[in-house]
Structure 1
Amino acid sequence: MFDGITTGEEHESGIGPLIEEEFLMYEHHQREINGRSNKGWLRTMVYSLVQQLVRQDPEYYILYVAARPDHNPRLVSYPYYTEFARPGDSTIFRHVDMNIPELLATGQGGNIVQGSVSLDVETAVTGCTEIVPGMHKRLREWWADVEARSAQGEQVRAGGRVHNVTPLWRSSDAAKYGKFGCHSVCTRSMLAYEPPLFLVLTASSYAAQYSRLAVLFEIHTI
């Protein structure tokens, strides 16, 4: 879809340099709130030209429909900001993009898919999205372990629409379910689709970003 956004000899043609200029423009106009780092998020970039281009791509839309468990073809675009992490940015977090007890009890949010388009090359060394492979099959089992620890007196936050996994994940969980790792490394222009029960327990690495990383997040939902 793209020639890439990194400038240089291999990207002198095509729309790559234009995409990069757009990222840089939005970055220039974004400020830090109360002097706090934006942690690699470009929260002012929501309706850029490149984002509109991706939203209108019929193949991207079709893949969204195919990735949804209910295959609902009647979706609307949910605007979301971009990632434009620089070396030194703290980008690490571990989360599930929904309320886990509500999902397990009612299925609420079970058809939501988050899609992304990587515009820079990820590697396990410079930074990537970490996952625990196979957790989509064992989410209910893991949450039962969390609730059992809560019954024994361990404090477990109820969570809102997004569950922070960091205070919940234990070394015993890693031994039982597997460790976080860069099992989903994206190359430039690669699409990634994350159904809620497929790539659950995801994390962005690292505590300090090693190289620049630009990602578009385009979400179609009902």
Structure 2
Amino acid sequence: MPDEKTFFRHIDVKIWDLLQTGRGANILQGSVSFKDDNLEYCTEILPGMHDLSKLRSWWEDLAQDATNTDNRNHTDGFVQGIQPWMWAADYVRKYNTDWEKEVCAAGDLRLSLPMIPHGSIGPATAIRQAILPWFVAVKADGTTLDTPESGSWEEISAAHRDIVAIPALPQAIAVLFTAV
């Protein structure tokens, strides 16, 4: 709704876990817009930062950053927030990218990987209506998801079939039927 505080920036995976184990690399996410976005209220991304070598380098840079006095860039959660100090002018120059607005029109589909830094600018200037699907890979055993804490294939399937809440994290909203 207009004037709601909607600003955020994050990465939808635990970066260190992704870099060490690949957990979360087999997810496809995005949005389907039902209303037009505008330049004052839309999704933003850091183009190219989903590249694992860049992501690893940036993560290591953050650990060495002099402004990081309390090691606050690491988290035990499954989503990594991005504070303003975490994307300073030095990083813009080093990685040759900066936040880019992704303005979608009604009916547009935006797809991305969970490891690309993204967010929303704000406050809201209009009503925004969108569906935010996540497609998660199912492993070769036919039941384990790429992000096991999201639940199992059986739990997700039952929740969709019975039209009930999914008893796990939002990463399990939708499942892609492929084995990894």
TM-score bucket (shorter structure): 0.5 to 0.7
Q: For residue 95 of structure 1, give the secondary structure of its aligned residue in structure 2.
A: strand
- TM-score normalized with structure 2 length: 0.66
1:146 and 2:65 are equivalent in the alignment: no
> Which one-letter code corresponds to 2:78 in the other structure?
R
Q: Determine which of 41, 50, 56 is the counterpart of 1:136.
A: 50
In the alignment, the residues of structure 2 paired with residue 147 and residue 132 of structure 1 have an alpha-carbon distance, to the nearest angstrom, of 19
> Which one-letter code corresponds to 1:180 in the other structure?
W
- CA apart distance, 1:202: 0.6
1:169 and 2:67 are equivalent in the alignment: no
Gaps of 5+ in 1: 1-85
- CA apart distance, 1:172: 2.0
In the alignment, the residues of structure 2 paired with residue 153 and residue 209 of structure 1 have an alpha-carbon distance, to the nearest angstrom, of 30
Q: For residue 86 of structure 2, give the secondary structure of its aligned residue in structure 1.
A: coil
1:180 corresponding residue in structure 2:
99
Instruction: Extract structure 1 runs of 4+ deviating beyond 6 A.
Output: none
Select the structure of larger CA radius of gyration.
Answer: 1
- CA apart distance, 1:219: 2.2
CA contact (8 A) 2:34 2:129 kept: yes
1:190 corresponding residue in structure 2:
108
Count of equivalent residues: 131
- Residue identity (%): 33
> Which one-letter code corresponds to 1:171 in the other structure?
A
- CA apart distance, 1:153: 6.1
How much is the aligned-residue C-alpha RMSD, in angstroms?
1.9
> Which one-letter code corresponds to 1:216 in the other structure?
I
- The correspondence of residues 1-222 of structure 1 with structure 2, limited to 5 A, is 86-125=1-40, 127-137=41-51, 138-149=54-65, 154-157=69-72, 158-159=74-75, 160-166=77-83, 168-177=86-95, 178-182=97-101, 184-197=102-115, 200-206=116-122, 208-221=123-136, 222=138
Gaps of 5+ in 2: 139-180
- TM-score normalized with structure 1 length: 0.54
